Structure 1
Amino acid sequence: MKKSLLLLLCSFISYNLLAQNASLRGFVLDQSTRKPLAGAVVQLDGAPERVRVTNELGEFRFANLPSQEYALTVTFVGFEVLRQTVRPQEASQEFFLTASLVALEAVTVQSQKAHQRQLISPIDIGLRPIMNSQEVLRQVPGLFIGQHAGGGKAEQIFLRGFDIDHGTDVRLTADGLPVNMVSHAHGQGYADLHFIIPELIESVAFKKGTYSAEHGNFSTAGWVDFRTRDVLDRSFVKAEVGQFDTYRVLGAFDLLGEKAKQRSQSAYLATEYNFSNSYFDSPQHFNRLNVLGKYNGQLSPSTYLNAAFSTFWSRWNHSGQIPDRAVADGRISHYGAIDDTEGGETSRTNVNLQFLTLTPQGGVWKNQVFYSHYNFELFSNFTFFLENPIDGDQIKQYERRNLFGYNGSYSRPHTLEGKTGELVVGVNYRHDLTRDTELSQTRNRAEVLERLMYGDINEANLGVYVEENLSLGRYFSLNAGLRYDVFRNQYADHLSGEIGVASAGILLPKLNLYYTPSTSVQLYLNTGKSFHSNDTRVVVPQNGREVLPPAYGSDLGVNWKPFPRLLLNAAAWYLWLDQEFVYVGDAGVVEPSGQTRRQGLDLSARYQLTSRLYFDADLNWAQPRAIGEEPGTDRIPLAPVFTSVGGLTFQGRQGFSGSLRYRYMADRPANEDNSLVAQGYFISDLQLNYTQKRYALGLSINNLLNTKWKETQFATVSRLRNEPEPVEEIHFTAGSPFFARLAFTYFLR
């Protein structure tokens, strides 16, 4: 009798232990493309740990579940909320989401992966006036761009009290491929995004600040990662026509069809051509050609391959920056030019291979190899006849570059003393080889008068990092990371015949804390150290000393949903940068740059007025100052002090949609003592769309109110022809006047 009771008791205990060890594993997929949705929020009512966020393969797991029915809810912005009853089981389950109108009720403030990147969706991109992929950067809260050398040159970037030039202090990537160019002929960190076709952008991830261990070089003010579509939901052709002789055609074609998508295989080919004379008095004759081919496939139940090839070419003339005095005395118009022989040509070809593998233990292993061949040639004239009163001061900047590298990481969820977490380890490697990088004085883009810099650059960067995302209970979570970067720089000077080599390294700790007492409130404290590398032509003469200036930053902020349709974010931030030596690509000289301090406030609001009408606004204030300078002479030239963007967006019935947007930049100092001021501006844009099953019509209007404004401004010393003395004043590039474009898209199925 005792043996029978003991056997029954053991059986009961074993049954309950087995029941407690049940698990639920699933994949969240897009219904139309069968593509995994990373970042979807999965809630399981009644589970001990009731919230999960899907990984890169759309996977989530709940372990140690009692064997019973659960109410499962899956939310993802831009998709209908999925609710269904589930039971734990050994086999994985698939959950398909259907695209729908954006609903802010679907946004939840949660502690799982609280450090995860913020996303700009394709819905945001499609409902705003955009001429090229670089303009998508404007959707990062607080980020402004400005063009000052025709449509083919990378735009100037402003963020968090930085005049970032063309990318020195913001890290840009596209499908993991680096965009910033180290030791570039024009300037350190030069980032040209024009090789991306806007209609093929799936999402844009971003984060402001120095807080991510995954992102190394250039991530001082923040980072932005563009993701292009892996799957084309349907083929289409598009034609655009606009003012100022502006034309654009685009075709994107699904190569494998619907049956292949059911087997998780897809491939497409897209090509784009642009032409415009633009609004300047001197025609730009701007040409750009883009081609992208992409394959995405599931090689096995646990492995995905993504392979992409793209090529890009652009050529243009531009009017450059013109002085205020030449416009004031009527010598030229607001849209005129002093030297209309300026212009450039650039190209880039990329090969990008990515492998994602899901391990049996729930880990995700990422491997990426990439290669780019890049060419750049730019003719500019900033000072006109200051240095050469006869031939003028035109310069040529030229380089040919081969760039290759590897990105790898392994992440795995785990439980540590009852606390769930995720450990990530990774490595980044990139190698840049340039040939005949040149800075020369030229005449009429045809004759080289004198070479100022001429040589080959060999630069390698290896970065390794470890990161832990840990849940510290019901309300608290932590992200801690450590990164180390090392550089080897070599410069072969063709003018002197000398070859120099130097190296340097930097250690970067990160610590980020999150407190989430409910699904509507989250407080966070982000801290971290980051850097931007310096030009090889500085590193070698400095023998690797003081060439990786550290940046220390912190954010104290809150995410708050006071109402289901209102989402607020507010953050107070601080950033300190050490002294460095800067290579000035336009002059071929090295200038010291002192320590700086930046602090500010960011405020963002997203409000869904009705089921189809949305309001958003971003307000960003900054106080950038040079440390160690006398008060009144400590301003940082061109650094923004107050910016705001916002507008109304609607998704109407029967295919109507659109947006009315504004952007505002306040006056800011153009020099250290604020005696010269870069004028602010307020610009509004309009986008209207009408979409049916087989076609779509679009109207884009930039500068709806036809405001006369200065898009980029500089305090420059220049001399015009026959002027007796040089003059320092504001030089500017005119912003676009009222500019309308019509678009017609035809869907092939």
Structure 2
Amino acid sequence: MTCFFLCGALSASAHKISIKGVVYGKNTNTPLSGATVKIVNTSKVSTTDNFGVYIFTNLADGPYELQISYLGYEQSRAKVVVTKAAPAKVVTHLETGNLQLAEVAVSAAQEKPLNIISSVDLQMRPIQNSQEVLRFIPGLVIAQHAGGGKAEQIFLRGFDIDHGTDINLTADGMPVNMVSHAHGQGYSDLHFLIPETIQAVDFGKGPYQANKGNFATAGYADFRTRPALDKNSLKLEAGRFDNYRAVGMFNLLGPAARQKHQNAYLATEYLFNNGYFNLPQNLNRLNIFGRYQSIINDKTIINASLSAFRSKWGASGQIPGRAVKQGLISRFGAIDSSEGGNTARYNATISLEKMLAHEAVLKNQIYLIKYDFNLYSNFTLFLNDPVNGDEIRQRENRTIYGYQGNYEKELNLLGKSLRSDIGIGLRYDDVNGSELSRTRNRVFLSPVQKGNTNEANAYAYLSETWQLSPRLSINAALRFDQFHFKYENLLSSDSLASVLKANRNRFSPKLNISYMLSPSVQLYLNTGQGFHSNDTRVSVLPNSREILPKATGADLGVTFKPVNRLFVNAALWFLDLEQEFVYVGDEGIVEPSGKTRRYGLDISARYQFTNNLFADADVNLAHPRARNAEANAYYIPLAPTATSAGGFTYQSPDKFRGSLRYRYVADRAANEDYSLTASGYFLLDAVAAYTFKKLEFKLSAENLLNQEWEEAQFETESQLRGETKPVTEINFTPGTPFFFKAGITYNF
């Protein structure tokens, strides 16, 4: 397959360009990537690249009308005349405004046109941190269970993903997932992102994207920060439970530089929150982010950013239900008052994207990440050590070096459009002092595990998208990943046996087909394989086989617009995993738990009642099961089976905005035989904002009905002080009671 596509690409000739255009945001004068451009009264649709450029080829001479639209911007139209002499050139500057569903086109070139979370969406949801942006992905649920500074637990498509084992997360091209992390494989902390700097989040489900590698089994989410600010701003927020937050966003270059397509800005965030627990969590978080973009001669884009993040907090952890029933603590109490931790992350990245001859694009990016982590937890209380308790410390110091590059080119193969995307990359993690120790009140008692980890992942992929007709598009891709694992056991007395190494590789084929049945109905079939890697400490063990277990999946879906203002996406899906991994926190190991199979149904709908009133709803059903398991012991603990989210959003042109939203999670199995149940919940949230000249006043509320709910739940064997034997039951972290926050933003 690879040889066929390579040979086809080499022998193909370029298209004759009839229309070439570029789309900018008017306020920032920066290119808009992903804008949809449609030729009115035809089936021809194009999408802008990172330069904001789109093209139409091989058009007959004559007049045409273009419709240009982008999420969060007002639609624009342009009339052009195509002649044989030269391509018609169009430059468009879009004004910010509301999304109009009537403008969203169904096309074979775009499988799911609404799989972008825009900055407009972010403004109308109650958000405490960037991790909560993940909740916007249909079917994705998060839960916090160790204070506001720790990464949230993630659930998607019948997976308890823990902190990132089965979802690939990136931010401006940099990885978020931490391989072989002290607290679990794929640990993903997004708190280093300032929510106001996020321009969009691209997401997808399943292992179908060639440029998404490790952990992209249930899906992926790609966070993209703003390349520029349209205005400066100062924001102050205060809420219940001693919640205080300040954000500053400042342009560093003037209007003259902006006209030359140069932008730079600085964003800062400070948050303090005591939380709703009896034990104040004293969460302190500081973020500093700077970004620079320069566009040179409309042919080269330079992006560079620096950021620093630090956080520390206390936590009440997961508490046993019996302690609350016996009156030992309230549901907001704590057994171990010294849980919590501190973490830091520093990022530096620069990318160079250059448009070559015949519209080919070459992109190169390098990044450097420094990361520190220190966490105190107590899962089992006094089970293992009745005197000192079972508190543990997990910590590490990590440096990540990375490079990634890709080359994209559109060619003509047998008279049809063929887009080639060839990518390569390397990620190297250098982890020093990855440690698991026994502690008491954060005082060291004894080591359990300590070592240095080196893990390298080199990869390459080839993705070919053939537009066989305006109705039919086929994408075939192949990805190759090579891993090198090395672990040095610092507690071993045998110097020869203390260093272990292993190498593994994985090929991941993909095949995706999209067919436009009519101008309002599109069918697609996505198939492919992906994988998630195991922890280095397990991968280097003798006879270790399940290092890169593959995931095989398929989606059969439909996207349609039954009426002009209603957009619906539905998909039947399945996903098989060769091996599940379960992290055993108090032992510092990742255990295999066997093969699994999941299948389900996703339905998403968006309806626009008027120009200002929107409604949306997502319903996600999953049937997760362990394969080859004993009878009646095939349930996957905590795997969600039914989730739903949606609501109403109102946005006036310039004054008032408001939303009312719900979140629902059904009851699910908490253990393999379903003898324990993780309780579901139904919550209502709301946001209201009013703009007056340069001021915006905003009020957000969570859990409007003040429901008593459990955010995180685990089957846990634990023992309280004074108990003669352990008890296995649900240990939980309570969800937030009714919470409100008020804010004021000054724009200048």
**TM-score for both structures, normalised by structure 2:** 0.95
Structure 1 window deviating more from structure 2 (226-235 vs 28-37): it is 28-37
CA distance in structure 2 between the partners assigned to 1:395 and 1:74 by the alignment:
56
1:432 aligns with 2:429: yes
Structure 2 residue aligned with 1:85: 79
Instruction: Measure how far apart 1:299 and its partner are.
Output: 2.9
CA distance in structure 2 between the partners assigned to 1:579 and 1:265 by the alignment:
48
Structure 1 residue aligned with 2:293: 296
CA distance in structure 1 between the partners assigned to 2:617 and 2:44 by the alignment:
33
Within 5 Å, give how 1:272-283 maps onto structure 2.
Answer: 272-283=269-280
**Is this contact kept in 1: 2:583–2:590, CA < 8 A?**
yes
Structure 2 residue aligned with 1:442: 439
Within 5 Å, give how 1:212-231 maps onto structure 2.
Answer: 212-231=209-228
**Is this contact kept in 2: 1:146–1:155, CA < 8 A?**
yes
Instruction: Measure how far apart 1:582 and its partner are.
Output: 5.2
CA distance in structure 2 between the partners assigned to 1:81 and 1:586 by the alignment:
55
Instruction: Measure how far apart 1:330 and its partner are.
Output: 0.8
**Is this contact kept in 2: 1:547–1:580, CA < 8 A?**
no
Of residues 152, 156, 163 in structure 1, which corresponds to 2:153? 156
1:471 aligns with 2:467: yes
Of residues 92, 96, 121 in structure 2, which corresponds to 1:95? 92
Structure 2: give runs of 5+ residues left out of the alignment. Answer: 1-14
Closer/same/farther in 2, CA of residues 476 and 91 from structure 1, 3 Å limit: closer
Instruction: Measure how far apart 1:664 and its partner are.
Output: 0.6
Aligned partner of 1:378: which letter?
L
Within 5 Å, give how 1:117-196 maps onto structure 2.
Answer: 118-196=115-193
Aligned partner of 2:158: which letter?
G
Structure 2 residue aligned with 1:328: 325
1:50 aligns with 2:44: yes
> 1:378-415 CA deviation, whole Å, 9 max, x = no partner?
00000000000000000000000000101111111111
Closer/same/farther in 2, CA of residues 620 and 542 from structure 1, 3 Å limit: farther
CA distance in structure 1 between the partners assigned to 2:546 and 2:592 by the alignment:
11
Closer/same/farther in 2, CA of residues 406 and 426 from structure 1, 3 Å limit: same
Aligned partner of 1:444: which letter?
N
1:25 aligns with 2:47: no
Of residues 24, 29, 33 in structure 2, which corresponds to 1:34? 29
Instruction: Measure how far apart 1:45 and its partner are.
Output: 5.0
Structure 2 residue aligned with 1:595: 595
Structure 1: give runs of 5+ residues left out of the alignment. Answer: 1-19
CA distance in structure 2 between the partners assigned to 1:51 and 1:646 by the alignment:
29
Instruction: Measure how far apart 1:84 and its partner are.
Output: 2.1
Of residues 208, 213, 221 in structure 2, which corresponds to 1:211? 208
1:367 aligns with 2:364: yes
Aligned partner of 1:142: which letter?
G
Structure 1 window deviating more from structure 2 (515-524 vs 344-353): it is 515-524
Instruction: Measure how far apart 1:632 and its partner are.
Output: 1.5
Instruction: Measure how far apart 1:245 and its partner are.
Output: 1.0
CA distance in structure 2 between the partners assigned to 1:472 and 1:382 by the alignment:
56
**Is this contact kept in 1: 2:701–2:739, CA < 8 A?**
yes
Within 5 Å, give how 1:222-621 maps onto structure 2.
Answer: 222-446=219-443, 448-496=444-492, 497=495, 498-542=498-542, 545-579=545-579, 584-621=584-621
Aligned residue pairs total: 727
Instruction: Measure how far apart 1:92 and its partner are.
Output: 4.2
- Aligned alpha-carbon RMSD (Å): 1.6
**Is this contact kept in 2: 1:22–1:66, CA < 8 A?**
no
Q: Secondary structure at the match of 2:636?
A: coil
Instruction: Measure how far apart 1:116 and its partner are.
Output: 7.4
Q: Secondary structure at the match of 1:301?
A: coil
Aligned partner of 2:600: which letter?
G
**Is this contact kept in 2: 1:113–1:469, CA < 8 A?**
no
Structure 1 window deviating more from structure 2 (478-487 vs 72-81): it is 72-81
- Identity rate, percent: 51
Structure 2 residue aligned with 1:690: 690
Instruction: Measure how far apart 1:81 and its partner are.
Output: 2.1
CA distance in structure 2 between the partners assigned to 1:513 and 1:215 by the alignment:
18
Instruction: Measure how far apart 1:311 and its partner are.
Output: 0.3
Closer/same/farther in 2, CA of residues 235 and 672 from structure 1, 3 Å limit: same
CA distance in structure 2 between the partners assigned to 1:366 and 1:180 by the alignment:
22
> 1:607-655 CA deviation, whole Å, 9 max, x = no partner?
1111111111111111110111133211000000111111111103551
Structure 1 residue aligned with 2:705: 705
Greater radius of gyration (CA): 1
**TM-score for both structures, normalised by structure 1:** 0.95
CA distance in structure 1 between the partners assigned to 2:519 and 2:95 by the alignment:
24
Structure 2 residue aligned with 1:8: none
CA distance in structure 1 between the partners assigned to 2:110 and 2:568 by the alignment:
19
CA distance in structure 1 between the partners assigned to 2:359 and 2:58 by the alignment:
15
**Is this contact kept in 1: 2:580–2:596, CA < 8 A?**
no
Instruction: Measure how far apart 1:417 and its partner are.
Output: 0.6
1:669 aligns with 2:669: yes
Instruction: Measure how far apart 1:115 and its partner are.
Output: 7.2
CA distance in structure 2 between the partners assigned to 1:654 and 1:115 by the alignment:
29
